[in-house]
């Protein structure tokens, strides 16, 4: 048996699906162009996808047509306010953390947001479907939702 014969018998692990980065309205659409120039050709701003001006629930529904995708937002209340809608539509969300901004060395919010998204883009695009993660300048955490908070405070 040759080495080439054995390679066909063991299955190769499949690579996780890469998600399209969809930049929410509360983040400058210039970020999507920067991401495209850095090799993420399918990054798009909500404005450029003509999804701007929609209520969040309608946006989550419209994002189904962009799957596999991840909504990148600076709306830190989204996981709390729209828990049911996010679960219903299975929307994947990457939240840029405001709390981490307050603790960071950045002085301009827009620069902080850009830095975080560029730093973690390779992780954001591999995020598991239907999850909400919070990204800061130094770390990635599971975003706090009312349900997650309730699960951690039970005796």
Pairwise CA distance, residues 93 & 41, whole Å:
19
Pairwise CA distance, residues 19 & 13, whole Å:
18
Q: Write the pLDDT tens digit of every residue in 30-55.
A: 999 999 999 999 999 999 999 999 99
Pairwise CA distance, residues 108 & 67, whole Å:
32
Pairwise CA distance, residues 22 & 93, whole Å:
9
Q: Write the pLDDT tens digit of every residue in 49-82.
A: 999 999 999 999 999 999 999 999 999 999 999 9
Helical spans, DSSP H, in the chain: 3-7, 30-37, 56-62, 78-81, 83-89, 98-103, 109-124, 146-153
- Evaluate if residue 106 carries a pLDDT over 80: no
pTM score, whole prediction: 0.81
Pairwise CA distance, residues 7 & 30, whole Å:
45
């Amino acid at each position: 048996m040759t080495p080439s014969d054995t390679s066909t018998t063991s299955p190769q692990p499949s690579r996780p699906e890469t998600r399209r980065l969809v930049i929410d309205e509360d983040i400058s659409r210039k970020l999507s162009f920067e991401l495209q120039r850095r090799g993420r050709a399918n990054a798009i701003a909500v404005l450029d996808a003509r999804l701007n001006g929609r209520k969040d629930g309608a946006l989550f529904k419209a994002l189904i047509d962009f799957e596999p995708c991840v909504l990148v937002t600076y709306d830190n209340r989204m996981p709390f306010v729209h828990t049911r809608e996010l679960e219903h539509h299975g929307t994947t969300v990457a939240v840029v953390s405001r709390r981490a901004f307050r603790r960071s060395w950045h002085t301009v919010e827009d620069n902080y947001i850009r830095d975080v998204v560029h730093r973690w883009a390779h992780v954001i695009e591999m995020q598991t479907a239907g999850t909400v993660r919070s990204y800061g300048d130094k770390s990635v955490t599971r975003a706090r939702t009312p349900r997650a908070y309730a699960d951690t405070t039970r005796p």
